[in-house]
Copies of this chain bind each other. A is one copy, B any other.
């Protein structure tokens, strides 16, 4: 079976997705364990069809691997060293294991050549609500799951570096992107915003300073409290400006 080589993809160009997931003050990354003998971990990846735009390909890959669409997905860096290739990795696998695949997948010669050519990778990142995502395995995956940012396994090629660089971009652009990330409910408290920032930046903010900083971004509006007759100690609710 030819998985890649007979598709109408642009050659030597890949997309790797660093999909961050946020859930209850934890930041995780979606990682796939490959269907080879041994422990081989990879980011969800794919290629660009001749007839689709690069961003469009990123969204397609994201949808194929997480079932979600219409979310914020941004290119953050090119990984383009001349010696960047899967060749050593795949040859090792095949030398180590007579039957290099565990089960029902075999790699055609054309696919092997496709996968071992030099690839320039376009790094994309997204930040999603883990509760809204169903990871979807492909034929090459043994399993797929969320790994805490502090418990990322040693990964294929430069995928560990990709995660580091994506986290830098996520932090650098969080103020600008907070409104499009769609990570908070329709209305939310200041504490929920602070929890999100503290998780992503891995540091604590003083409550007053944080509130000042966020309000200065000028993207939030505070809702009036409804008079309930109760002691009214409920925190203010906010929503994003339209």
Contacts and interface: CB of A to CB of B under 8 A. Distances in A.
Interface of A: 10-13, 48, 50-56, 75, 77-78, 80-82, 118, 120, 122
Contacts of A48: 80, 120
A2 to B, nearest CB: 20
Contacts of A120: 10, 13, 48, 54
B13 A51 contact: no
A80 B55 contact: yes
Contact of A82 (B52, B75, B81, B122): B52
Nearest to A52: B82
B13 A122 contact: no
13 contacts: A10-B12, A10-B120, A11-B11, A12-B13, A13-B13, A50-B82, A50-B118, A53-B82, A54-B78, A54-B80, A54-B81, A56-B82, A75-B78
